[in-house]
Structure 1
Amino acid sequence: MKYLIAILTIAAFTSIILGFVLEVDYTEKLIGFGVTSLFLIVFPIFSYYRWKGKDPKDYMLTKENLDKMKASQRDKKN
């Protein structure tokens, strides 16, 4: 999965760079394809890959998590 993400990212950035460098009729399409593929294909796949198997509640600022952070800060000071 990480190789697929890397290949798609390189392809998207290559498309964007070639769109700026080349002097052809479809430079806007190259740039647009690169940006669109980054935000509609690469980023969602990367997010799914990184968050798979994790609980989002562990990363939310809830009352319980804030209390845990305050308690850990007090323990560090003592």
Structure 2
Amino acid sequence: MKYLIIILTLLALGSIFSGLILDVPYAQKLIGFGVLGLFILVFPLFSYYRWKDKDPKDYMLTKENLAKMREREGDDRKI
């Protein structure tokens, strides 16, 4: 999965840069397909790859997590 994301990112960026550099009639389409590739393919795959083994509740602001943050903040003030 990691290598697929890297390859797709490089292809999308290559399409964008070639559309900017080359003077061809379809240069705007190259830029557009590169941007679409980043937002439709690369970003969702990257997000899934990074979040697949994590619990979203650990990142939500619940009462328990706020209490933990306040405890840590109090520990930092003592130093």
- Per the normalisation by structure 2, the TM-score is 0.93
Residue 10 of structure 1: how far off its partner (Å): 0.4
Residue 75 of structure 1: how far off its partner (Å): 2.3
Please give the root-mean-square deviation of Cα atoms over the aligned residues, in Å.
0.9
Aligned to 2:60: 60
For residues 40-51 of structure 1, the aligned pairs below 5 Å read 40-51=40-51
Question: What stretches of structure 1 of length at least 5 have no aligned partner?
Answer: none
Identity value in percent: 64
1:25-57: per-residue Cα shift (whole Å, max 9, x none)?
101110000000000000000000000011001
For residues 15-26 of structure 1, the aligned pairs below 5 Å read 15-26=15-26
Question: What stretches of structure 2 of length at least 5 have no aligned partner?
Answer: none
Amino acid at match of 1:69: M
For these two proteins, the number of residue pairs brought into alignment is: 78
- Per the normalisation by structure 1, the TM-score is 0.94
Query: How far apart are the structure 1 equivalents of 2:9 and 2:25?
Result: 24
